[in-house]
Copies of this chain bind each other. A is one copy, B any other.
Amino acid sequence: VQFLASVLPPGTDPAFFEHLRALDCSEVTVRALPEGSLAFPGVPLLQVSGPLLVVQLLETPLLCLVSYASLVATNAARLRLIAGPEKRLLEMGLRRAQGPDGGLTASTYSYLGGFDSSSNVLAGQLRGVPVAGTLAHSFVTSFSGSEVPPDPMLAPAAGEGPGVDLAAKAQVWLEHVCAHLGLGVQEPHPGERAAFVAYALAFPRAFQGLLDSYSMRRSGLPNFLAVALALGELGYRAVGVRLDSGDLLQQAQEIRKVFRAAAAQFQVPWLESVPIAVSNNIDEEALARLAQEGSEVNVIGIGTSAVTCPQQPSLGCVYKLVAVGGQPRMKLTEDPEKQTLPGSKAAFRLLGSDGSLLMDVLQLAEEPAPQAGQELRVWPPGAQEPCTVRPAQVEPLLRLCFQQGQLCEPLPSLAESRALVQLSLSQLSPEHRRLQSPAQYQVVLSERLQALVNSLRAGASP
């Protein structure tokens, strides 16, 4: 307030600043779609009512908090639809976010939209998002191979028997692996192998290899196999490999083939199914390729595309005045798209007898709710005539969630909202769900709402 007083024109009434200091949200009421709901254009995400000045001040904060979160969740849900249910999707976009705050929102809502985990540790701590990650190229390239591990001895997984020198054991395995792969034993980079050994000594039950710091075929893969087989002898199983460059699908196929051959050759069946993770600027198109039938990729790390939503980097949510003192208001502007629907409204989702979504209907708040099994006359957008629909089920969409300065019910957990996303998507018909040229889901108006729009448009006084 003090800052505002310093930038507003001199002579601004001091009582205004006193008024600002006294404001709070105790008279604000918020109705909202539950977190994780499917929202279609025209249906309010939030309905805010309260003293005019207070709810006007809430415009930018609410848009700022809702728009990006909804964009990221929608984008994540698209990526999940493309990936299919089996692939593990890892969000790793913090470095491309608009600061730590943007990164936290991106991680939270990517998970809500259908990702499995995030590399953002703070999102794990603050929001309960499962955290996951691999190792960094800088970790691998920081080793030259001349390092001596502080303690190269590793005890067997079962905890019994003497420890063995893992570095020495990996060196022995390297010879077998190179012979099997037809490589010279000098070809794999010794620094990369030293990095893998160090990682395996620290995390013997979570060993993974990053294969492309030097050459995947001639260095990363044989070094990984040498260390994984050495660990395997002690009863530990490697948990994965990662690729971060080149043709990811093609290399994954190649790596899986090598895993299968080596599993047979060295009689370690578990090696066949070591998960292959990939990353490197993966967008929707690249993801579709990685998710295709027969792909050997198991885990897909997505950073930039998850966080910046490059196909549509912003969601154009708006916050519009629809009623003052119970009187409906409508913005009649030069752009038909910028016109608003007047009045305080209720929203319902109509479902068919098979549970599929038929359409959403907007009506005035004071109208009775549509009844299951009863015929309803509604106006599709731009229609010249109403049409009729007989829903088998009717679901109210907006819930009272904030009143008199208090939450009205406990917020759902992130996992509950995440489950709601997938459940809701499953109710959507394939034509509406497909990502290329989807059929438009209808949001229709009740007859009374349509009549109000018509009367305000006709220029009757608002």
A residues whose Cβ falls under 8 Å from a Cβ of B: 3-4, 7-9, 11-13, 16, 52, 56, 59-61, 63-65, 67-68, 94-106, 121, 124-125, 131, 136-139, 141-142, 144-145, 189-191, 202-206, 212-216, 244-246, 280, 304, 307-310, 313-314, 316-317, 319-321, 324, 327, 329-335, 338, 461-462
- Docked Cα-Cα span, A338 to B67, in Å, equals 34
- Docked Cα-Cα span, A216 to B97, in Å, equals 39
| Residues B333 and A212 in contact, CB atoms below 8 Å apart | yes
Look across to chain B and name the residue whose beta carbon is closest to the beta carbon of A55.
Answer: B138
Jot down 17 A-B pairs with beta carbons below 8 A, ordered by A: A8-B203, A59-B136, A60-B95, A68-B97, A68-B98, A96-B314, A97-B98, A98-B99, A98-B307, A102-B102, A138-B321, A141-B330, A142-B329, A213-B332, A214-B332, A307-B314, A309-B313
> Contacting A4 at CB < 8 Å: which of B4, B99, B121?
B121
- Docked Cα-Cα span, A63 to B92, in Å, equals 13
Look across to chain B and name the residue whose beta carbon is closest to the beta carbon of A100.
Answer: B64
- Docked Cα-Cα span, A68 to B100, in Å, equals 11
Besides A59-B138, A138-B321, A212-B334, 14 other A-B contacts (C-beta < 8 A): A3-B124, A7-B121, A7-B131, A67-B95, A68-B96, A68-B98, A68-B102, A98-B98, A102-B102, A190-B461, A246-B333, A246-B335, A280-B335, A313-B313
| Residues B52 and A142 in contact, CB atoms below 8 Å apart | yes
| Residues B101 and A137 in contact, CB atoms below 8 Å apart | no
| Residues B7 and A124 in contact, CB atoms below 8 Å apart | yes
Set of chain B residues within 8 Å of A320, measured between Cβ atoms: 137-138
- Docked Cα-Cα span, A194 to B227, in Å, equals 78
Instruction: Give chain B nearest CB distance to A268 CB in angstroms.
Output: 21
- Docked Cα-Cα span, A244 to B335, in Å, equals 9
| Residues B308 and A313 in contact, CB atoms below 8 Å apart | yes
- Docked Cα-Cα span, A343 to B67, in Å, equals 44
> Contacting A99 at CB < 8 Å: which of B102, B139, B213, B280?
B102
> Contacting A12 at CB < 8 Å: which of B9, B68, B202?
B202
| Residues B60 and A94 in contact, CB atoms below 8 Å apart | yes
Q: A334-B216, A335-B246 are in contact. Are A9 and B203 (CB under 8 A)?
A: yes
| Residues A331 and B106 in contact, CB atoms below 8 Å apart | no
Instruction: Give chain B nearest CB distance to A85 CB in angstroms.
Output: 24
Q: A310-B313, A331-B213 are in contact. Are A56 and B138 (CB under 8 A)?
A: yes
Q: A136-B59, A137-B331 are in contact. Are A98 and B94 (CB under 8 A)?
A: no
- Docked Cα-Cα span, A61 to B100, in Å, equals 8
> Contacting A56 at CB < 8 Å: which of B64, B136, B313?
B136
Instruction: Give chain B nearest CB distance to A223 CB in angstroms.
Output: 14
Instruction: Give chain B nearest CB distance to A314 CB in angstroms.
Output: 4
Set of chain B residues within 8 Å of A96, measured between Cβ atoms: 63-64, 67-68, 314
Q: A56-B138, A102-B102 are in contact. Are A3 and B333 (CB under 8 A)?
A: no
Look across to chain B and name the residue whose beta carbon is closest to the beta carbon of A103.
Answer: B64
Set of chain B residues within 8 Å of A205, measured between Cβ atoms: 9, 11
Look across to chain B and name the residue whose beta carbon is closest to the beta carbon of A318.
Answer: B95
- Docked Cα-Cα span, A206 to B11, in Å, equals 11
Set of chain B residues within 8 Å of A246, measured between Cβ atoms: 333-335
- Docked Cα-Cα span, A230 to B307, in Å, equals 51
> Contacting A100 at CB < 8 Å: which of B13, B101, B327, B329?
B101
Set of chain B residues within 8 Å of A317, measured between Cβ atoms: 95
